[in-house]
Chains A and B, each alone.
Chain A
Amino acid sequence: MIFTSYTYLVFLVLACLCHWLAPIRLRNAILIGLSYWFYCSWQWQYGFLLLGVSLFTYYYGAWLTRRPSDGRLLAVGIGIELLPLIYFKYSEFLLVSGAGALRGLGVHIAPPVLDIALPLGISFFTFQGIAYLVHVAAGETPFRRATDFLLFKAFWPQLIAGPIIRPGEIEAQITGTRTLSYPDVAAGLQRIAHGCFKKVVLADLLAPYVDAAFLPGANPAAIDCAAGMLGFGLQIYFDFSGYSDIAIGSARLFGFTFPENFDWPYAARSPQEFWNRWHMTLSRWIRDYLFTPLSFAARRHPRVAHIWLLLAMALCGLWHGAEWTFVLWGLWHGALLVLGQTWLKGLFRLSPGDGFRAGLVNAGRCGLTFGLVTLGWLLFRSQSVAQVGDMLHALLTLRGGLRPAVLRENALMIIGAVFLGSLAARWLASSRIVGLATGNARWASAARGLYYALLVIATVIFDREARAFVYFQF
C-alpha cells in the first residue's frame, strides 16, 4: 500500500473513522493495529521484525534506566539495534566490497549472491530506535507503557520514509488526549494534496527522462548529463518531500503534529543551509547522534573536527544506499560543508541587508549552492563510479555540444518547465499573493478551493496507471 494509491486513500478514511469514533482509551491500540496492518500489507513476515525490534528497544531502554550511566551498555544496545539494518541492507555490500579488497591483495573470492529483500523503512525505524536509547541513556524518561512505545515506533505515516521523529516530539501527543479540529483536518488534507501532486505529477513525470539520461552505457552528451542531473535533483526533491507531506498530513488527521522535513532546500545560500532545509530530521539526527558525539570524543583535537564531519557525512551517504556512489555523495557534501566553514567561508557568508546588491549576491550564492548540490546528485544517481566518471567527462569536455545524444526535446522541455515552475512557486510562496489568498475573504476561499481542486484533478490525470500512450508522428 503506497501513499499515492487509491487503497491508501480508502485506508486513511476508514482509519480516521475507526480512530475518532472509538472511545479515547482505545484509540492508540487502534492506531497500532492499523499501523501493523499497513506495514504487513507489503510482506507480513517483516511485521515480526518490526515488533521484535520495537520490543527490544523498549525493554532495553527500560533496563538502561535502571543501570547507572554506562556508555558500554548503550553501545551494546545500539549495536544490537544496528544488526538487522546491517544484515538486510549492507551484508551484500560488505561482502562485495570485502571481495574487491581481497582481490586487490591477490586473493580471489566470489562473494555469494544473497538476494535479501529489504524490509521497508528499516533505515528509518533503526535510527528512531537508536535515538530512543540515547535519550533514555541521557536520563530522559522512557515511555511508561509498551503500547505507547509501539505506537511511537510503528505509527504508519512516519514508518516508511520518515520524518525521523524523536521521542520527546511525540510522547505527549501519544499519551495525551488528541482532539480533531478544523485547522488540523484542513492542514492535513492540504498537505496530502500537495504531497500527491509533488509525487505523482512532478516526480513521476520526470522519472523516465532521468532514467534515460542515466542509463548505463548510453554515452550521453554534456546536455543530457546536465539535464539528467537537474531532472534528478527535482525528481528526488518532489518525490521525497511529497512523501513527507503525505506523512505529515496523514498524521495531522489523527491529531499528531510531525516535525517538518523540507524547507525549500534549493533556495539555500550555502551547503550548511542546504542541510538545514533538506531532510531536516535526518540532518539533525546525523548532527546530534553522529557528528556531535564524535567531535565531543575528540574535543582535545579540534582540528580533526572536520574529519569527523566528513566521516559523518560519508555515513549519511551510506545510510541512503549500500553503494560506494552514495558514500562518495556523502563525502562530497562533507567536503562542501568543511569548505564552507574554512576556505570558502567568505563565499557562503550571507550578505546583510535587503538591498538590491545584497539580494543579487545572495541569489548568486543560492545559484552556486544549487549548482554544487546538483553536481552531487550525479554521484547519488549513477549506478557505478565508472558511470560518474563518464558523465563527468562528458560535462567537462562538453561532449556533443548542444545536441543531445540520449534525450529528446520533450525531456529538455519538461525538465526546464518543472525547474522554472519551481522557481515561480518559490517566488509566489514569498510574495504577497499567497498571503492574500490565505485570508478569510470569500474570493480567497474560492481561490484556494479551485487551487486544491486542480491539484486533485492533476493527480488523478497524471497518475501512473492513467498514463496513456500517445501517437506522435514526428
Chain B
Amino acid sequence: MLRDQALAANARDTRLWNGPGPWLLLTLVICNVVAGSHLAELKRDREANLLGLSNGSNRPDQPPRYDWSVGEDLARYLPAIPDARRQPLVIVLGMSQMYTINDVAQGDEAIPELLDEEFSAFGVRAFGLVAPNLNNEEALLLQLAALARPATTPRAFLYGVCFDKFRNIDLRPALARLLSSDLALQQSWTHVCEGRASMYPLACEKMRQSLATAQEPSTDRPDTVEQRIRTLAARALPLVDARSELNGALQYRVYLFRNWLFDIHPSTKRPIISSRYQLNQELLGLLEEVSRARGIQLMVFVNPLNPQAENPYITEQYQQFKAWLQGFAQSRRLGYANLEDAVPAEHWGQRSDGPDFKHFRGEGHRLTARAIDTSFRDQLRALPDPVPAP
C-alpha cells in the first residue's frame, strides 16, 4: 500500500509510460532475447578463440591429462592431476602449442597426453597446465597452484618457454580470480618475493600489484553474496549469462581493428617491448627459485617454430632470447633443450592468413613429445620416488 499521496500520484504520472523507460525496457528485452538465441554460438566462438578442442581432448575415453579449460577453470582440473604421492609427477607448463592440434585427425593427441604415455613406461606421470599466450607470471601462478597440495606437487616442471610470450604481462581474469579466491595461494604468492625483491624488483612489484588487484573489494570471490546474485541474474537474464562471451567477442573486434589501424599482420616484425621482456625474465628467475627452494627440477626448452612461415620476430632479438635462455639454464643448472627445429615444415598447419607459425598437426605433437623425451630422458628417468602418502 502506498503511504503518501505524492507516492500514489507518482504511479499515475504519464511520463512513466511516455518517457524513455518503456524504450529502455524494450531494448533490454530485445537484447536479452538476441543474446539468449546466440548464446551457444557465442560460447563456440569463444572456445574456438581459446584454441581448445571441443571435448577438451581428442581422446574423451581418457581422463584429463591437461587442463582442458586451458586456464579458464583451473580449479576444476587440479583434482585430475595424478596423485604425486603415488608416483613421480611431471607438470608440463606451456602455451597453446602444447594442446592445439591443427587439422585434427582420429587418434591425435596433445603433447602432455603423449608425454604421459611416454613417461608412464618408466613409472612417471605427466600432466599439462597449459593456457594460450601463457606468460611467466601466469606460469608462476600455475606452479604455485600445483605446489599448494602434496598430491599435486611434482618432481619436475617442464616448461616450453616461448619468445613472443615475453611481450605479455598480467594475469588473465580467470587466473586472477583463482588468486583472489585462494588465501593459501595468496600467501605463497607473497612469500615468493620475500627477500628477493632486490634481485627481482620488477617481478616483485608486478606481483604485489597483481595481488593488490586480486584483493580489491571485488566481485570475483566465488563464495560471496555478490557471486550468488550474479549467478541468479545469469540464470534469469541471457545477457548477463553471455557477458563473458560478449566481452570476448568485443575484445576480439577491437584486436582486429587494432591490426587494421596499425597495419599489423602475422608476419609484421614487431620489436619486443623491453620492460615487458625484462619483467618476464625476472619472473622466470623467480619460477626457478621457487622450484629450487622446493627441491623440484625445472627443465626448460625453446618451442618449435615453423621453418617455412614468416614469424613476427626480429631475428636478432630472437637469437638474443635463445642465447639468454641457454645461459640462464646453464647458470642455474637447469635442463635445457632447443626444440626450435623439432618439427619439419610439412607437419604444421595453415591459418586463413597463411602458414601457422606456432601450431602444428598431430604428427608435430608426436615429434615434439619425442624430442622432449629424448632431451630430458636422463633427468626424467632419475626422478626420485615420491615420499609415500601417510
Contact = CB atoms under 8 A, between A and B. Distances in A.
A410 B251 CA distance: 10
Contact of A472 (B133, B243, B246): B133
B131 to A, nearest CB: 8
A358 interface: no
B275 A215 contact: yes
A313 B254 CA distance: 41
Nearest to A459: B243
A339 B217 CA distance: 41
Interface string B236-273: 00011001111110111011011001101110101101
A30 to B, nearest CB: 12
A7 B229 contact: yes
B225 interface: yes
Contact of B226 (A5, A404, A409, A414): A5
B22 A449 contact: yes
Contact of B250 (A407, A414, A442, A461): A461
Given A179-B7, A468-B251, A473-B358, A6 B27 contact: no
Nearest to B252: A470
Given A7-B229, A218-B202, A474-B270, A461 B247 contact: yes
A7 B226 contact: yes
A164 to B, nearest CB: 22
Contacts of A177: 4
B3 A464 contact: no
A465 B218 contact: yes
Contacts of A462: 247
Given A220-B275, A449-B21, A471-B132, A215 B206 contact: yes
Interface stretch (B12-20, B82-90, B105-113): B12-20
A469 interface: yes
A456 B265 CA distance: 35
Interface in A431-474: 440, 442, 445-454, 456-457, 460-474
A456 B24 CA distance: 9
A83 interface: no
Most buried by B among A466, A469, A472: A469
Given A7-B225, A219-B274, A452-B24, A21 B239 contact: no
A406 B170 CA distance: 13
Nearest to A438: B20
Contacts of B317: none
Interface residues of A, number: 66
Contacts of B350: none
B218 A464 contact: yes
A169 interface: no
Contacts of A44: none
Interface in B1-59: 1-4, 6-7, 10, 13, 15-16, 18-28, 31, 46, 49-51
Contacts of A468: 46, 173, 244-245, 247-248, 251
A105 interface: no
Contacts of B308: none
A448 B20 contact: yes
Nearest to B251: A470
Interface stretch (A180-188, A315-323, A340-348): A180-188
Contacts, number: 193
A12 to B, nearest CB: 12
Given A5-B219, A182-B16, A215-B209, A463 B229 contact: no
A474 B312 contact: yes
Contacts of B339: none
A446 B13 contact: no
A469 B174 contact: yes
29 contacts: A20-B7, A180-B6, A180-B10, A181-B6, A182-B13, A186-B19, A219-B274, A219-B275, A219-B278, A403-B271, A408-B273, A409-B264, A410-B255, A413-B257, A440-B18, A445-B19, A449-B19, A449-B26, A456-B28, A460-B240, A461-B243, A461-B247, A466-B247, A468-B173, A468-B247, A468-B251, A469-B172, A469-B248, A473-B266
Closest 8 CB pairs of A and B: A449-B23, A453-B27, A466-B243, A448-B20, A449-B20, A468-B248, A179-B6, A469-B172
Given A5-B219, A408-B273, A470-B252, 15 more contacts: A2-B218, A6-B233, A21-B3, A23-B3, A24-B3, A179-B7, A180-B6, A182-B19, A186-B21, A404-B273, A449-B23, A452-B20, A460-B243, A463-B219, A468-B248
